[in-house]
Every structure is written in structure tokens, then in C-alpha cells.
Amino acid sequence: MINSHDILETINMIDNENLDVRTITMGISLLDCIDDNIDIACKKVYDKICRYAEKLVKTGEDISKEYGIPIIHKRIAVTPIAMLAAACPTMSPVKFAKALDTAANTVGVNFVGGYSALVHKGFAQGDYALIESIPEALSVTEKVCSSVNIGSTKAGINMDAVAKMGKVIRKTAELTADRDCIGAAKLVVFCNAPEDNPFMAGAFHGVGEPDCVINVGVSGPGVVRAALAKAGDCNITEVADIVKKTAFKITRMGQLVAKEASKRLSVPFGIVDLSLAPTPAIGDSVAYILEEMGLEQCGAHGTTACLALLNDAVKKGGVMASSHVGGLSGAFIPVTEDAGMIAAARSKALSITKLEAMTAVCSVGLDMIAIPGDTSAEIISGIIADEAAIGMVNSKTTAVRLIPAINKKAGEELNFGGLLGSGPIMDINPKSPAKFISRGGRIPAPMQSLKN
């Protein structure tokens, strides 16, 4: 028998605390679409995505209705396109981006991830051409997301790729300057990229994955904050316990949705990503959780410690609630997508250096940060290198999603609208790392890589 208190609690979480399943992401392997004729390859890509994901959106909506849980996004992740581009080296891979975009529109998903290359140890055939084409691909498509893995704990950091990505991020922003530089918001640079991440912009379908798979990302920062608010003055051990219990409930809901989607679509269930993913909606903020723990504002001294506790407790609570856990799993701190982070950045309580420290203990990295439009490619590369170093040494995923706000300076704002949000352009250190970046080569893998 279900307790009426539990029923009302669930309904309150959904109605008032923004509890939702953030995304059902279908991973689709495109390895069987490889062809040396790019037009044939694109047709195969389009056909396969439409065939596999035909019922994805409808199924998501049905589950949402039946269980009364909002399921915000239905998305697709595909095999890194660089692998397909390798077979047609004389052609621009942008055609693949267009095919992905058309397929996304046909099946009705709001993003498709996987315009990606994995170059942590070096560039293979197809990788360089794909990276070179990212600015154009993201400016001529709407729903395609791109990611590049430039480092890993096992391989070290590919500094040639780091140097290249600084330029690519700038160029992507320049080509979409008329749309608040939105192209750069769809491009992530990773260290230790997970192969089963359901979240955009970094989702791609890794080569070790099955032909097709369903991954689910949960959310619910508002629920965690409300639970802490209700608890009042308790000590920090109790705070951790409350986060764990709440994360357990949130994840169980995600697991149920994942299982159900997998059954209805006849596609194997992959993982649940134990995440706290904020949105710009009031009350759906990770920063507010940290403030509820006792900080005057996110970014204050103590923020890193609060985030470390939160990130760890979310995993501990979630891991028992799901049979398979993966993806990024942890608290996200995207600045423009989080009302509390936006407020903290505006009031200068939160700086990019504090964010960098926070990324050592959160699930991803420097995410959705608008930087001044005159920031050089070398400085962007420097930021990427720092972030990748944190990931490499700590055996964790780190990522950089920066938006150079072309023709704007610190203090002004960018507004992407919708889930990508808006936010102030943050100050960065203008000193140049140009010589370091121009050296190229590879940072050797750290001792942590030698576990065998």
C-alpha cells in the first residue's frame, strides 16, 4: 500500500519543485553507415536515425503522460562523425551535419549530438577535417551538437588539439555572432569524455556501445534545495544524508522511465546519469542548493566544499537506485543555465577562477560561460589546457564550453533564450599563454594512468 504522504510528496516535487526527467537520449551507432561516397553515407545516416528513432518522441510523451512525470527532452547521440568522415577524406564533413539536422527535424528531437572527434592521443584520418569544419557545421545547422575529446588520464593531453580548439571555438562564435554566438554553446571540449553521456552538448555514442541504446538523465536541483530548506538548522552530516535520500528518489524515477522507454522501444537500457541539471527557471538551480547549505551567495569561500559534498552525496544516493549508472553523474554548474549562477556572476560573487576550482569537484567543467569577444584563441586554449589538466590528474571528466561574445565586453550580457539561458560576460585573465600553446606536442599521461 502506498502511503498518502509519499504520494503528496511526489506530486509536490513535480508541481512546485521542478522535478523532471531531463532527457531520454537514444544512442545510435552509425558504423554501418560508413561509405566512401559521402552522399550515400549521409543517406544511410538519415535513414538509420529515422528508422530507429521514429517512435522516440511519441514514446517519451506517452510515458510522461502515464506516469505524470515531465520528460523535458528527447535526444539522439550518434557515433563520432569523424569516423564516418574518415572514409571520404576529400569531402567536407558538413554534409553529415546537415543530414543529422534533417534527421533530428524529421523525428522531432531537439538536439542530436555526435558531430565529434576523439583526438586525445592524436589525429586520425577524418579527425582534423571534422574539427576544421565545426564552425561551419554549427552555423548552418540548428540541432547538431559537437564535442572533441582532447585529453584523457590514460593518454595525456593533445596540445596540438588544444591549440586548434581555441581557434575553432572563436571561429564558431564569429560565424554565429548575429545569433548571440550560439554556435559556441553547442560545442564542448572534453578531457575523459564518457561514451554514454545523455546530456548535450557533449553526448556521443561511443564505439564500445551496442547498436542502439537508451540512456536517461535525471534532474531535480529544486527538489534537493526544498528538502534542505525543510530540514532547517541541521549539521552538515545530516545535509549529506538529506541530499542522498532525495537523489535516491529522483534516480528511481529516472530508472523507471529508462526501463519503460527501453521496453516500449525494444532497445536495450544503457545507463541512468545521476545528475543535478539546472535550468534557468527560478527554483531549478544548483547554486541555490549551495546557498541553502549556508553560503551568502554561490562563489563565496566555502563554495567548493559545499559542491564537493553535493556532488558526492548525489552519486551515493543515486547509485543504489539504478541498476546501471554512467554518463557524467554529478552536479552540473553551467553558468548561463542556472538562475543562481547567473545572479552570482552578475554580482561578481562568482569568478571564472572560482568556477575552475569548482570543476575539480563537480561532474563536468567550465560550462556555458560567456567571455569577452576580444579573447584570443590562445587564451581560450589556455583555459582548455587548465581544465583538461584537472580532469587528467583527477581521473574525472572535465569539459569546456565557452562562448566568446563577439563585439561585446565583460559586464554585457548574452541571451540565447530557452534552456541555454542568458548571462553576463565574465572577466578573464588577459595575460597571454601564447608561447606555451604554440609549443604543441602532448602532455604525457600522469602516474595515475599506470594502474595495471
- Please report, as ranges, the residues that interact with other proteins according to CB under 8 A: 2-4, 6-11, 15, 62, 65-69, 249, 252-253, 255-256
State the minimum distance, in angstroms, from the CB of residue 165 to other proteins: 41
C-alpha cell at 82: 569523424
Angle of helix 236-265 relative to helix 56-67, nearest 10 degrees? 130
Distance, in Å, from the CA atom of 257 to the CA atom of 252, rounded to the nearest integer, reads 9
Distance, in Å, from the CA atom of 121 to the CA atom of 196, rounded to the nearest integer, reads 20
State the minimum distance, in angstroms, from the CB of residue 50 to other proteins: 24
- Contact yes or no for 14/226 (Cβ under 8 A): no
Nearer to other proteins, 15 or 39 (CB): 15
State the minimum distance, in angstroms, from the CB of residue 266 to other proteins: 19
> DSSP string spanning 209-252?
S-SEEEEEEE--HHHHHHHHHHH-S--HHHHHHHHHHHHHHHHH
Distance, in Å, from the CA atom of 153 to the CA atom of 282, rounded to the nearest integer, reads 37
In the numeric block, the cell 552509425 is attached to 30
Nearer to other proteins, 114 or 254 (CB): 254
Alpha carbon 99 to its chain centroid, in Å, reads: 22
State the minimum distance, in angstroms, from the CB of residue 23 to other proteins: 18
Burial class (CB in 10 A: 0-12, 13-18, 19+), 65: exposed
Nearer to other proteins, 66 or 296 (CB): 66
Nearer to other proteins, 65 or 409 (CB): 65
State the minimum distance, in angstroms, from the CB of residue 159 to other proteins: 47
State the minimum distance, in angstroms, from the CB of residue 24 to other proteins: 16
Dump strand ranges (E) for 316-364: 330-331
Nearer to other proteins, 257 or 366 (CB): 257
Distance, in Å, from the CA atom of 62 to the CA atom of 75, rounded to the nearest integer, reads 16
Nearer to other proteins, 171 or 225 (CB): 225
